[in-house]
Chain A
Amino acid sequence: MTERIWGILTEGFGKILLASIQVTIPLTIIGISLAMIIAMIMAMIQYAKIPILSQIARLYIWIFRGTPLLVQLFLAYYGLPKVGIVMDAFPCAIMVFALNEGAYCSETMRSAFEAVPPGQLEAGYCVGMSYFQIMWHVVIPQALRTAFPPLSNSLISMLKDTSLVAEITVADMFMAAQKIVGRTYEPMWLYAEVALVYLMFSTILTLLQRRVEKRLSKYTMKNAAVQEALPGEAAR
Protein backbone atom coordinates (compact mmCIF):
# COMPACT_ATOMS: atom_id res chain seq x y z
CA MET A 1 0.00 0.00 0.00
CA THR A 2 1.50 3.29 -1.03
CA GLU A 3 1.86 6.26 1.20
CA ARG A 4 -0.61 8.20 -0.98
CA ILE A 5 -3.33 5.64 -0.46
CA TRP A 6 -2.59 5.47 3.23
CA GLY A 7 -3.00 9.23 3.40
CA ILE A 8 -6.28 9.10 1.49
CA LEU A 9 -7.61 6.35 3.76
CA THR A 10 -6.64 8.24 6.90
CA GLU A 11 -8.31 11.39 5.67
CA GLY A 12 -11.27 9.32 4.48
CA PHE A 13 -11.68 7.63 7.84
CA GLY A 14 -11.91 10.96 9.64
CA LYS A 15 -14.44 12.34 7.17
CA ILE A 16 -16.52 9.18 7.15
CA LEU A 17 -16.60 9.09 10.93
CA LEU A 18 -17.53 12.75 11.12
CA ALA A 19 -20.37 12.16 8.65
CA SER A 20 -21.52 9.20 10.72
CA ILE A 21 -21.73 11.39 13.79
CA GLN A 22 -23.44 14.22 11.94
CA VAL A 23 -25.83 12.19 9.82
CA THR A 24 -25.85 8.40 9.84
CA ILE A 25 -26.07 7.85 13.60
CA PRO A 26 -28.62 10.58 14.40
CA LEU A 27 -30.69 9.60 11.36
CA THR A 28 -30.70 5.98 12.50
CA ILE A 29 -31.49 6.76 16.12
CA ILE A 30 -34.18 9.36 15.46
CA GLY A 31 -35.56 7.28 12.60
CA ILE A 32 -35.94 4.08 14.63
CA SER A 33 -37.34 5.96 17.62
CA LEU A 34 -40.05 7.63 15.55
CA ALA A 35 -40.62 4.34 13.72
CA MET A 36 -41.18 2.57 17.04
CA ILE A 37 -43.67 5.20 18.17
CA ILE A 38 -45.55 4.82 14.90
CA ALA A 39 -45.32 1.03 15.16
CA MET A 40 -46.67 0.91 18.71
CA ILE A 41 -49.63 3.10 17.77
CA MET A 42 -50.41 1.17 14.58
CA ALA A 43 -50.06 -2.19 16.31
CA MET A 44 -52.25 -1.16 19.26
CA ILE A 45 -54.91 0.15 16.91
CA GLN A 46 -54.96 -3.13 15.05
CA TYR A 47 -54.73 -5.28 18.17
CA ALA A 48 -57.69 -3.47 19.69
CA LYS A 49 -59.48 -3.79 16.31
CA ILE A 50 -60.56 -0.16 16.36
CA PRO A 51 -62.75 0.33 13.30
CA ILE A 52 -61.69 2.83 10.61
CA LEU A 53 -58.35 3.48 12.33
CA SER A 54 -57.42 -0.17 11.73
CA GLN A 55 -58.16 0.24 8.05
CA ILE A 56 -56.10 3.42 7.91
CA ALA A 57 -53.22 1.62 9.62
CA ARG A 58 -53.37 -1.20 7.11
CA LEU A 59 -53.47 1.23 4.20
CA TYR A 60 -50.39 3.03 5.52
CA ILE A 61 -48.48 -0.23 6.01
CA TRP A 62 -49.50 -1.49 2.60
CA ILE A 63 -48.23 1.64 0.85
CA PHE A 64 -44.94 1.99 2.69
CA ARG A 65 -44.02 -1.67 2.54
CA GLY A 66 -45.09 -1.97 -1.05
CA THR A 67 -42.95 0.78 -2.54
CA PRO A 68 -39.14 1.14 -2.69
CA LEU A 69 -37.47 3.27 -0.07
CA LEU A 70 -35.46 5.13 -2.69
CA VAL A 71 -38.61 6.04 -4.57
CA GLN A 72 -40.17 7.27 -1.32
CA LEU A 73 -37.12 9.45 -0.68
CA PHE A 74 -37.26 10.94 -4.18
CA LEU A 75 -40.97 11.50 -3.98
CA ALA A 76 -40.67 13.29 -0.66
CA TYR A 77 -37.63 15.38 -1.53
CA TYR A 78 -38.08 16.14 -5.22
CA GLY A 79 -41.81 15.49 -5.63
CA LEU A 80 -43.50 17.13 -2.66
CA PRO A 81 -42.08 20.64 -3.35
CA LYS A 82 -44.19 20.61 -6.53
CA VAL A 83 -47.29 20.61 -4.35
CA GLY A 84 -45.89 23.23 -2.05
CA ILE A 85 -44.35 21.02 0.66
CA VAL A 86 -40.69 21.94 0.92
CA MET A 87 -38.42 20.32 3.47
CA ASP A 88 -34.70 20.38 4.11
CA ALA A 89 -33.02 17.20 3.00
CA PHE A 90 -32.16 15.92 6.48
CA PRO A 91 -35.59 16.26 8.13
CA CYS A 92 -37.07 14.91 4.91
CA ALA A 93 -34.82 11.86 5.19
CA ILE A 94 -35.80 11.37 8.83
CA MET A 95 -39.48 11.55 7.96
CA VAL A 96 -39.22 9.03 5.14
CA PHE A 97 -37.14 6.62 7.22
CA ALA A 98 -39.51 6.89 10.19
CA LEU A 99 -42.53 6.20 7.99
CA ASN A 100 -40.89 3.43 6.01
CA GLU A 101 -39.35 1.68 9.00
CA GLY A 102 -42.51 2.36 11.00
CA ALA A 103 -44.51 0.33 8.50
CA TYR A 104 -42.24 -2.69 8.88
CA CYS A 105 -42.06 -2.40 12.66
CA SER A 106 -45.86 -2.07 12.83
CA GLU A 107 -46.21 -5.51 11.32
CA THR A 108 -43.59 -6.93 13.66
CA MET A 109 -45.31 -5.43 16.69
CA ARG A 110 -48.77 -6.47 15.59
CA SER A 111 -47.79 -10.11 15.29
CA ALA A 112 -45.90 -9.88 18.59
CA PHE A 113 -49.04 -8.55 20.30
CA GLU A 114 -51.08 -11.33 18.80
CA ALA A 115 -48.59 -13.91 20.04
CA VAL A 116 -49.43 -13.09 23.66
CA PRO A 117 -51.89 -15.80 24.73
CA PRO A 118 -55.35 -14.19 24.99
CA GLY A 119 -55.92 -16.12 28.20
CA GLN A 120 -53.56 -13.74 29.95
CA LEU A 121 -55.81 -10.84 29.00
CA GLU A 122 -58.77 -12.72 30.43
CA ALA A 123 -56.82 -13.44 33.60
CA GLY A 124 -56.06 -9.73 33.87
CA TYR A 125 -59.72 -8.83 33.55
CA CYS A 126 -60.60 -11.39 36.19
CA VAL A 127 -58.30 -9.77 38.76
CA GLY A 128 -59.96 -6.46 38.01
CA MET A 129 -57.39 -4.89 35.72
CA SER A 130 -58.47 -2.53 32.95
CA TYR A 131 -57.57 -3.02 29.30
CA PHE A 132 -54.81 -0.43 29.50
CA GLN A 133 -53.40 -1.83 32.71
CA ILE A 134 -53.21 -5.27 31.11
CA MET A 135 -51.61 -3.83 27.99
CA TRP A 136 -49.04 -1.95 30.03
CA HIS A 137 -48.09 -4.65 32.55
CA VAL A 138 -48.63 -7.84 30.58
CA VAL A 139 -49.08 -7.57 26.83
CA ILE A 140 -46.60 -4.86 25.85
CA PRO A 141 -43.65 -6.25 27.83
CA GLN A 142 -44.15 -9.70 26.33
CA ALA A 143 -44.71 -8.33 22.84
CA LEU A 144 -41.53 -6.27 23.02
CA ARG A 145 -39.65 -9.36 24.12
CA THR A 146 -40.99 -11.34 21.17
CA ALA A 147 -40.41 -8.49 18.75
CA PHE A 148 -36.91 -7.66 19.92
CA PRO A 149 -34.93 -9.91 17.53
CA PRO A 150 -36.82 -8.91 14.38
CA LEU A 151 -36.77 -5.26 15.45
CA SER A 152 -33.01 -5.45 15.93
CA ASN A 153 -32.66 -6.87 12.45
CA SER A 154 -34.77 -4.01 11.11
CA LEU A 155 -32.54 -1.55 12.89
CA ILE A 156 -29.42 -3.04 11.31
CA SER A 157 -31.01 -2.98 7.86
CA MET A 158 -32.04 0.58 8.40
CA LEU A 159 -28.54 1.60 9.40
CA LYS A 160 -27.29 0.27 6.08
CA ASP A 161 -30.18 1.74 4.12
CA THR A 162 -29.32 5.23 5.35
CA SER A 163 -26.65 5.20 2.63
CA LEU A 164 -29.53 5.97 0.23
CA VAL A 165 -29.90 9.48 1.61
CA ALA A 166 -26.82 10.53 -0.33
CA GLU A 167 -29.19 10.44 -3.31
CA ILE A 168 -31.19 13.34 -1.89
CA THR A 169 -28.11 15.44 -1.08
CA VAL A 170 -27.75 14.48 2.58
CA ALA A 171 -24.04 14.37 3.44
CA ASP A 172 -23.87 10.97 5.12
CA MET A 173 -20.95 8.52 5.40
CA PHE A 174 -21.45 7.22 1.91
CA MET A 175 -21.50 10.70 0.41
CA ALA A 176 -18.33 11.57 2.32
CA ALA A 177 -16.64 8.61 0.65
CA GLN A 178 -18.08 9.50 -2.76
CA LYS A 179 -16.70 13.00 -2.51
CA ILE A 180 -13.18 11.80 -1.85
CA VAL A 181 -13.46 9.27 -4.67
CA GLY A 182 -14.42 12.11 -6.98
CA ARG A 183 -11.23 13.89 -6.07
CA THR A 184 -8.79 10.97 -5.81
CA TYR A 185 -10.17 8.33 -8.19
CA GLU A 186 -9.67 5.57 -5.65
CA PRO A 187 -13.10 3.93 -5.59
CA MET A 188 -11.79 0.53 -4.60
CA TRP A 189 -10.08 1.66 -1.42
CA LEU A 190 -12.58 4.24 -0.30
CA TYR A 191 -15.72 2.21 -0.89
CA ALA A 192 -14.07 -0.69 0.90
CA GLU A 193 -13.27 1.65 3.73
CA VAL A 194 -16.83 2.95 4.04
CA ALA A 195 -18.11 -0.62 3.81
CA LEU A 196 -15.88 -1.49 6.75
CA VAL A 197 -17.25 1.37 8.81
CA TYR A 198 -20.81 0.16 8.12
CA LEU A 199 -19.69 -3.33 9.08
CA MET A 200 -18.22 -1.99 12.29
CA PHE A 201 -21.47 -0.28 13.24
CA SER A 202 -23.65 -3.25 12.40
CA THR A 203 -21.32 -5.54 14.35
CA ILE A 204 -21.66 -3.32 17.40
CA LEU A 205 -25.45 -3.46 17.04
CA THR A 206 -25.40 -7.23 16.65
CA LEU A 207 -23.32 -7.64 19.79
CA LEU A 208 -25.63 -5.33 21.70
CA GLN A 209 -28.60 -7.28 20.42
CA ARG A 210 -27.17 -10.55 21.74
CA ARG A 211 -26.53 -9.11 25.16
CA VAL A 212 -29.98 -7.62 25.49
CA GLU A 213 -31.59 -10.82 24.23
CA LYS A 214 -29.83 -12.79 26.89
CA ARG A 215 -31.13 -10.48 29.57
CA LEU A 216 -34.63 -10.57 28.16
CA SER A 217 -34.72 -14.35 28.05
CA LYS A 218 -35.21 -14.67 31.81
CA TYR A 219 -38.88 -15.55 31.58
CA THR A 220 -38.77 -17.51 28.38
CA MET A 221 -36.04 -19.96 29.26
CA LYS A 222 -37.15 -23.04 31.05
CA ASN A 223 -33.93 -24.00 32.70
CA ALA A 224 -32.73 -20.54 33.43
CA ALA A 225 -31.07 -20.42 36.79
CA VAL A 226 -32.11 -16.80 36.87
CA GLN A 227 -34.62 -16.13 39.55
CA GLU A 228 -35.53 -12.60 40.19
CA ALA A 229 -33.58 -11.55 43.24
CA LEU A 230 -36.00 -11.49 46.10
CA PRO A 231 -34.70 -9.67 49.10
CA GLY A 232 -36.46 -10.76 52.23
CA GLU A 233 -38.13 -13.89 53.41
CA ALA A 234 -38.70 -15.69 50.17
CA ALA A 235 -35.05 -15.74 49.24
CA ARG A 236 -34.00 -17.19 52.56
Chain B
Amino acid sequence: MSMLQIRNLNKSYGNVKVLKDISLSVEKGDVAAILGPSGSGKTTLLRCMNFLEKADSGSMVFDGTEYDLGHIKKNQIAQIRKKTAFVFQNYNLFANKTALGNVTLGLTSARKMPKEEAREKGLVLLDKVGLKDLAGSFPVQLSGGQQQRVAIARALATDPEIIYFDEPTSALDPELIGEVLEVMKALAKEGMTMLVVTHEMNFAEHVSNKIIFMSDGIILEENSSREFFEHPREERTREFIRRIRRDS
Protein backbone atom coordinates (compact mmCIF):
# COMPACT_ATOMS: atom_id res chain seq x y z
CA MET B 1 0.00 0.00 0.00
CA SER B 2 1.19 3.50 -0.75
CA MET B 3 2.68 5.48 2.05
CA LEU B 4 0.93 8.64 0.96
CA GLN B 5 -2.05 9.10 -1.29
CA ILE B 6 -3.93 12.18 -2.34
CA ARG B 7 -7.40 11.75 -3.80
CA ASN B 8 -9.39 14.40 -5.63
CA LEU B 9 -7.80 17.40 -4.04
CA ASN B 10 -9.44 20.68 -5.05
CA LYS B 11 -8.35 24.21 -4.28
CA SER B 12 -9.61 27.57 -5.48
CA TYR B 13 -8.55 31.11 -4.78
CA GLY B 14 -11.74 33.11 -5.07
CA ASN B 15 -13.36 31.64 -8.16
CA VAL B 16 -10.10 30.62 -9.79
CA LYS B 17 -9.63 26.87 -9.59
CA VAL B 18 -5.95 26.34 -8.96
CA LEU B 19 -5.98 22.59 -8.29
CA LYS B 20 -8.55 20.38 -9.99
CA ASP B 21 -9.15 16.88 -8.70
CA ILE B 22 -5.52 16.14 -8.01
CA SER B 23 -4.78 12.50 -7.20
CA LEU B 24 -1.37 11.03 -6.68
CA SER B 25 0.45 8.45 -4.65
CA VAL B 26 3.91 8.22 -3.20
CA GLU B 27 5.55 4.97 -2.15
CA LYS B 28 8.08 4.66 0.59
CA GLY B 29 11.51 5.50 -0.81
CA ASP B 30 10.14 7.36 -3.82
CA VAL B 31 11.86 10.46 -5.02
CA ALA B 32 9.07 12.09 -6.95
CA ALA B 33 9.70 15.24 -8.95
CA ILE B 34 6.80 17.57 -9.63
CA LEU B 35 7.37 19.38 -12.90
CA GLY B 36 5.29 21.85 -14.82
CA PRO B 37 5.12 25.36 -16.15
CA SER B 38 4.93 28.37 -13.86
CA GLY B 39 1.49 28.89 -12.37
CA SER B 40 0.44 25.27 -12.84
CA GLY B 41 -0.19 24.85 -9.09
CA LYS B 42 2.92 22.97 -7.92
CA THR B 43 3.58 25.15 -4.89
CA THR B 44 -0.09 25.26 -3.98
CA LEU B 45 -0.26 21.47 -4.08
CA LEU B 46 2.69 21.07 -1.69
CA ARG B 47 1.33 23.74 0.61
CA CYS B 48 -2.07 22.06 0.72
CA MET B 49 -0.39 18.76 1.52
CA ASN B 50 1.29 20.29 4.54
CA PHE B 51 -1.69 22.46 5.51
CA LEU B 52 0.01 25.78 4.93
CA GLU B 53 -3.03 26.26 2.70
CA LYS B 54 -6.37 24.65 3.30
CA ALA B 55 -7.65 22.49 0.49
CA ASP B 56 -11.35 22.90 -0.35
CA SER B 57 -11.94 19.19 -0.66
CA GLY B 58 -10.20 15.89 -1.16
CA SER B 59 -8.66 13.25 1.00
CA MET B 60 -5.25 12.08 2.07
CA VAL B 61 -4.23 8.62 3.12
CA PHE B 62 -1.06 8.70 5.17
CA ASP B 63 0.32 5.47 6.61
CA GLY B 64 -3.05 3.83 6.22
CA THR B 65 -5.05 6.55 7.95
CA GLU B 66 -7.50 8.53 5.86
CA TYR B 67 -8.00 12.25 6.39
CA ASP B 68 -10.68 14.49 4.92
CA LEU B 69 -8.74 17.50 3.63
CA GLY B 70 -11.82 19.68 3.45
CA HIS B 71 -12.59 19.18 7.14
CA ILE B 72 -9.22 18.49 8.67
CA LYS B 73 -8.87 19.00 12.42
CA LYS B 74 -6.03 20.65 14.25
CA ASN B 75 -4.89 17.50 15.99
CA GLN B 76 -4.92 15.62 12.68
CA ILE B 77 -2.72 18.30 11.14
CA ALA B 78 -0.33 17.96 14.06
CA GLN B 79 -0.33 14.20 13.66
CA ILE B 80 0.54 14.40 9.96
CA ARG B 81 3.13 17.13 10.42
CA LYS B 82 4.99 14.90 12.85
CA LYS B 83 5.78 12.68 9.89
CA THR B 84 6.54 15.35 7.30
CA ALA B 85 9.02 18.13 6.73
CA PHE B 86 9.15 21.05 4.35
CA VAL B 87 12.01 22.78 2.59
CA PHE B 88 11.13 26.20 1.19
CA GLN B 89 12.38 27.97 -1.89
CA ASN B 90 13.68 30.87 0.22
CA TYR B 91 14.88 28.73 3.15
CA ASN B 92 12.84 30.53 5.83
CA LEU B 93 15.44 29.97 8.50
CA PHE B 94 14.71 31.45 11.93
CA ALA B 95 16.74 34.66 11.75
CA ASN B 96 17.33 34.86 15.49
CA LYS B 97 18.72 31.35 15.78
CA THR B 98 22.12 29.98 14.83
CA ALA B 99 22.41 27.21 12.29
CA LEU B 100 22.38 24.73 15.15
CA GLY B 101 19.49 26.52 16.84
CA ASN B 102 17.51 26.29 13.62
CA VAL B 103 17.99 22.55 13.50
CA THR B 104 17.21 21.92 17.16
CA LEU B 105 14.33 24.32 17.83
CA GLY B 106 11.66 21.94 16.60
CA LEU B 107 13.16 19.21 18.79
CA THR B 108 13.48 21.20 22.01
CA SER B 109 10.26 23.19 21.75
CA ALA B 110 7.75 20.99 19.93
CA ARG B 111 9.08 17.59 20.98
CA LYS B 112 10.48 18.49 24.37
CA MET B 113 13.77 16.76 23.65
CA PRO B 114 16.42 17.57 26.26
CA LYS B 115 18.74 20.38 25.09
CA GLU B 116 21.93 18.33 25.15
CA GLU B 117 20.43 15.45 23.20
CA ALA B 118 19.00 17.87 20.63
CA ARG B 119 22.34 19.60 20.32
CA GLU B 120 24.13 16.35 19.60
CA LYS B 121 21.57 15.36 17.03
CA GLY B 122 21.74 18.83 15.49
CA LEU B 123 25.51 18.63 15.12
CA VAL B 124 25.29 15.21 13.49
CA LEU B 125 22.79 16.57 10.98
CA LEU B 126 24.82 19.70 10.27
CA ASP B 127 27.79 17.45 9.70
CA LYS B 128 25.73 15.46 7.25
CA VAL B 129 25.04 18.58 5.18
CA GLY B 130 28.67 19.64 5.53
CA LEU B 131 28.13 22.57 7.86
CA LYS B 132 29.27 21.42 11.26
CA ASP B 133 31.90 24.16 11.35
CA LEU B 134 29.26 26.82 10.86
CA ALA B 135 26.93 25.55 13.57
CA GLY B 136 27.27 28.81 15.48
CA SER B 137 26.61 31.13 12.55
CA PHE B 138 23.43 33.09 12.12
CA PRO B 139 21.50 32.85 8.83
CA VAL B 140 22.60 36.32 7.65
CA GLN B 141 26.18 35.14 7.85
CA LEU B 142 25.57 32.19 5.55
CA SER B 143 25.39 31.98 1.77
CA GLY B 144 22.14 30.91 0.15
CA GLY B 145 23.45 27.43 -0.45
CA GLN B 146 24.54 27.09 3.16
CA GLN B 147 21.20 28.39 4.38
CA GLN B 148 19.34 25.88 2.27
CA ARG B 149 21.53 23.09 3.62
CA VAL B 150 20.75 24.21 7.16
CA ALA B 151 17.08 24.14 6.18
CA ILE B 152 17.51 20.56 4.98
CA ALA B 153 19.21 19.61 8.24
CA ARG B 154 16.30 21.24 10.08
CA ALA B 155 13.87 19.21 7.98
CA LEU B 156 15.72 16.02 8.84
CA ALA B 157 15.81 16.75 12.56
CA THR B 158 12.33 15.54 13.28
CA ASP B 159 12.89 12.21 11.49
CA PRO B 160 10.20 12.76 8.85
CA GLU B 161 8.85 9.94 6.73
CA ILE B 162 8.66 12.29 3.77
CA ILE B 163 10.20 15.65 2.93
CA TYR B 164 8.50 18.13 0.62
CA PHE B 165 10.80 20.44 -1.30
CA ASP B 166 9.46 23.52 -3.12
CA GLU B 167 12.04 24.55 -5.69
CA PRO B 168 14.88 24.24 -3.22
CA THR B 169 17.48 25.59 -5.63
CA SER B 170 15.51 28.27 -7.48
CA ALA B 171 16.58 31.15 -5.25
CA LEU B 172 20.25 30.22 -5.44
CA ASP B 173 23.05 31.64 -7.53
CA PRO B 174 24.00 29.07 -10.17
CA GLU B 175 27.31 28.22 -8.51
CA LEU B 176 25.55 27.32 -5.25
CA ILE B 177 22.95 24.98 -6.72
CA GLY B 178 25.32 22.02 -6.87
CA GLU B 179 26.01 21.79 -3.15
CA VAL B 180 22.30 21.62 -2.34
CA LEU B 181 21.57 19.07 -5.05
CA GLU B 182 24.43 16.92 -3.73
CA VAL B 183 22.82 16.83 -0.30
CA MET B 184 19.47 15.92 -1.84
CA LYS B 185 21.05 13.22 -3.93
CA ALA B 186 22.67 11.72 -0.85
CA LEU B 187 19.30 11.69 0.90
CA ALA B 188 17.71 9.99 -2.08
CA LYS B 189 20.41 7.33 -1.98
CA GLU B 190 19.71 6.68 1.68
CA GLY B 191 16.14 5.93 0.77
CA MET B 192 14.49 9.09 2.06
CA THR B 193 11.05 9.63 0.58
CA MET B 194 10.95 12.98 -1.15
CA LEU B 195 8.44 15.01 -3.12
CA VAL B 196 10.33 17.69 -4.98
CA VAL B 197 9.00 20.58 -7.03
CA THR B 198 11.92 21.46 -9.26
CA HIS B 199 13.08 22.95 -12.49
CA GLU B 200 16.33 20.97 -12.32
CA MET B 201 15.82 18.54 -15.16
CA ASN B 202 19.02 16.75 -14.38
CA PHE B 203 17.74 15.97 -10.90
CA ALA B 204 14.35 14.96 -12.24
CA GLU B 205 15.81 12.67 -14.86
CA HIS B 206 18.63 11.07 -12.92
CA VAL B 207 17.79 11.22 -9.22
CA SER B 208 14.04 10.95 -9.03
CA ASN B 209 12.34 7.72 -9.95
CA LYS B 210 8.97 9.25 -10.60
CA ILE B 211 7.65 12.34 -12.36
CA ILE B 212 4.41 14.15 -11.71
CA PHE B 213 3.80 16.59 -14.51
CA MET B 214 1.33 19.36 -13.79
CA SER B 215 -0.33 21.83 -16.08
CA ASP B 216 -3.15 24.26 -15.33
CA GLY B 217 -4.03 22.68 -12.02
CA ILE B 218 -4.24 19.09 -13.16
CA ILE B 219 -1.77 16.25 -13.20
CA LEU B 220 -1.22 15.70 -16.88
CA GLU B 221 1.09 12.74 -16.56
CA GLU B 222 2.31 10.64 -13.67
CA ASN B 223 5.00 8.28 -14.81
CA SER B 224 8.26 6.65 -13.93
CA SER B 225 11.15 8.97 -14.54
CA ARG B 226 12.59 6.85 -17.32
CA GLU B 227 9.29 6.45 -19.15
CA PHE B 228 8.51 10.10 -18.74
CA PHE B 229 11.69 11.27 -20.42
CA GLU B 230 11.98 8.46 -22.98
CA HIS B 231 8.40 7.67 -23.87
CA PRO B 232 6.16 10.45 -22.63
CA ARG B 233 2.50 9.58 -22.97
CA GLU B 234 1.02 13.03 -23.49
CA GLU B 235 1.57 15.44 -26.33
CA ARG B 236 1.93 18.35 -23.87
CA THR B 237 4.58 16.42 -22.00
CA ARG B 238 6.52 15.76 -25.16
CA GLU B 239 6.41 19.41 -26.00
CA PHE B 240 7.59 20.31 -22.48
CA ILE B 241 10.53 17.93 -22.74
CA ARG B 242 11.46 19.15 -26.21
CA ARG B 243 11.45 22.69 -24.91
CA ILE B 244 13.69 22.03 -21.91
CA ARG B 245 16.04 19.90 -24.03
CA ARG B 246 16.32 22.83 -26.41
CA ASP B 247 16.91 25.32 -23.60
CA SER B 248 19.63 23.37 -21.88
Q: Give the interface of A toward B (CB within 8 A).
A: 116-117, 119-120, 122-130, 133, 136-138, 141-142, 145, 218-224, 227-230, 232-235
Contact of A128 among B90, B111, B119 (CB under 8 A): B111
Extra pairs beyond A138-B105, A220-B95 (16, CB < 8 Å):
A123-B94, A126-B50, A126-B155, A127-B110, A127-B158, A128-B106, A128-B111, A129-B109, A137-B105, A137-B109, A219-B96, A220-B140, A221-B140, A224-B138, A230-B100, A234-B100
Stretch at the interface among B11-19, B61-69, B81-89: B81-89
Please name the residue on chain A nearest to B98 by beta carbon.
Answer: A228
Confirm or deny: B141 has a beta carbon within 8 angstroms of a beta carbon on chain A: yes
Asked if A142 and B95 sit within 8 Å, CB to CB, the answer is yes
Within 8 Å CB of A145, what residues of B?
A: 96
Q: A119-B90, A129-B105, A138-B96 are in contact. Are A230 and B110 (CB under 8 A)?
A: no
Q: Is the CB of A133 within 8 A of B136?
A: no
Contact B140 A234 (CB under 8 A): no
User: Can you sample 28 A-B contacts with CB below 8 Å?
Assistant: A119-B88, A120-B93, A123-B88, A124-B94, A124-B105, A124-B106, A125-B52, A126-B86, A127-B105, A128-B110, A128-B158, A129-B105, A136-B109, A137-B105, A137-B109, A138-B97, A142-B96, A219-B95, A220-B95, A222-B140, A224-B141, A227-B137, A227-B141, A230-B98, A230-B100, A232-B123, A234-B126, A235-B136
Name the contact of B140 in the complex, choosing from A119, A138, A219 (C-beta under 8 A). A219
A-side interface mostly: helix
A128 touching B139 by the CB < 8 A rule? no
Closest to B77 in A: A125
0/1 string, B141-185, CB within 8 A of A gives 1: 100000000010011011000000000000000000000000000
The answer to whether B136 touches A120 (Cβ under 8 A) is: no
Nearest B residue to A118, CB-CB: B92
Measured in the bound complex, the distance between the Cα atoms of B95 and A209 in whole Å is 22
Q: Which of B85, B97, B111, B133 contacts A234 (CB 8 A)?
A: B133
- 9 closest A-B pairs by CB: A127-B106, A119-B92, A128-B110, A234-B135, A126-B86, A219-B138, A123-B92, A227-B136, A230-B136
Taking CB atoms, residues of chain A closer than 8 Å to B90 are 119
Docked complex Cα distance between A145 and B123 (Å): 27
- Against A, the Cβ 8 Å flags (1 = close, 0 = not) of B95-134 are 1111010000110011100000001000100100000110
Give every chain A residue within 8 A of B93 (Cβ-Cβ).
120, 123
**Nearest neighbor of A129 in chain B, beta-carbon distance:** B110
Residues of A within 8 A of B126 (CB): 234
Give the Cβ gap from A214 to chain B, nearest Cβ, in Å. Answer: 15
- Please give, as numbers and ranges, the residues of chain A lying within 8 Å of B158 by CB-CB distance: 127-128
Q: How many cross-chain pairs have Cβ atoms below 8 Å apart between A and B?
A: 108
The docked-state distance in angstroms from the alpha carbon of A120 to that of B91 is 9
B110, A122: Cβ atoms closer than 8 Å: no
B78 at the interface (CB under 8 A from A): yes
A124 to B97, CA, bound (A): 12
A196 to chain B, nearest CB (A): 39
**In chain B, what residue has the closest Cβ to A218?**
B138
A137: chain B residues at CB < 8 Å are: 94, 97, 105, 109
Q: Which of B105, B132, B155 has the most CB of A within 10 A?
A: B105
Q: Which residues of B contact A233 (CB under 8 A)?
A: 123, 132
User: In the assembled complex, how far is the CB of residue B10 from the closest CB belonging to chain A, in whole angstroms?
Assistant: 22
Q: Which residue of B lies closest to A119 (CB)?
A: B92
Contact partner of B110 (CB less than 8 A), chosen from A133, A142, A218, A221, is A133
Give bound CA distance, A169 to B64, whole Å: 74
CA distance A223 to B140 in the complex (A): 9
Could you say which of A120, A128, A218, A228 contacts B78, with CB atoms under 8 Å apart?
Answer: A128
A137 to B92, CA, bound (A): 15
Q: How far is the CA of A122 from the CA of B106 in the complex (A)?
A: 12
User: What residues of A have a CB within 8 angstroms of the CB of B92 in the complex?
Assistant: 117, 119-120, 122-123
Q: Which of chain B's residues has its CB closest to A143's CB?
A: B96
B4 to chain A, nearest CB (A): 16
Q: Which residues of A contact B88 (CB under 8 A)?
A: 119, 122-123
CB–CB A138/B136 < 8 A: no
A141 and B96 within 8 A (CB): yes
In the assembled complex, the Cα of A229 lies from the Cα of B95 at a distance in Å of 17
Is the pair B109, A133 in contact by a Cβ cutoff of 8 Å? Answer: yes
For A227, what are the chain B residues with a Cβ–Cβ distance below 8 Å? 98, 136-137, 141
The interface residues of chain A lying within 8 Å CB-to-CB of B98 are: 227-228, 230
